[in-house]
Structure 1
């Protein structure tokens, strides 16, 4: 849970910190790049309403992890390959992909055997996850500075999105894993 929390937070911080710069470095006006960030963040609100009903069963939760993981990866891939071709689509996909936060909270809430255990798990997962995630925007910025472009930083974010999906799927057992 801590790994997933760290990955989803890192992705959020990186998008919030760098999406406008990625787009403006590719030629988009700073104002429009800021609007793309706003769009990505606004998409997060309704995505929560779409995703929360999927937290009721393990199978549905797996589907939710796939939805957010694929959306985030597709948004990053679009920014990597053709940032100005469909920036609204990349912003919407990335924003939907950032909707992973309520999913991990649902898992934390359902994991403890008592209120105290759940609180301890929540405290550890969130505090450690936020600490680990805080290096994300700095790391992305250092990669950008070292390489002079966005290919490597976006490739790293794409790998982290795939890792987030993998960890999310590991958090939700399949029927076979439960009965074994």
Structure 2
């Protein structure tokens, strides 16, 4: 290598022509949908190597984008078949779902597995609820608020919000699998 060292060279600047907000939004949607499918798989106890059918319900204007992303989503989330349906269509019975960047992601649950999955989700919900009560109690404590450094209080507040969100997700899964 000849010339100035990369260690002291200025950081490269990105030309405006390289920035495409539409492509970035499509990439963000891909990541959100794959993350939602993987999260559902984990919540439902689906082994990582197992291919599962998935349904993406979205407004009609997103169908072309989701159609173009279908092979990538299917490969990254190990989903087969992967279908795209209109959001206005009735939600299939016996499915668990999450919302990801305007797309409802659904995974079917076999009737034979529903009781086992409901029991596991109820156990996880009980664990999350107990942890949430502990964190909320800590945050309600005037002694904790007075003595703890601000970053610790902020971390506990963020933890409380994450636990609340996890609780809502688990309750949604349980409600979807009733009956």
TM over 0.5, yes or no? no
- Which TM-score band (shorter chain)? under 0.3
**Which structure shows the higher helix fraction?**
1
Between Structure 1 and Structure 2, the one with more strand by share is 2
Higher relative contact order (CA 8 A, sep 6+): 1
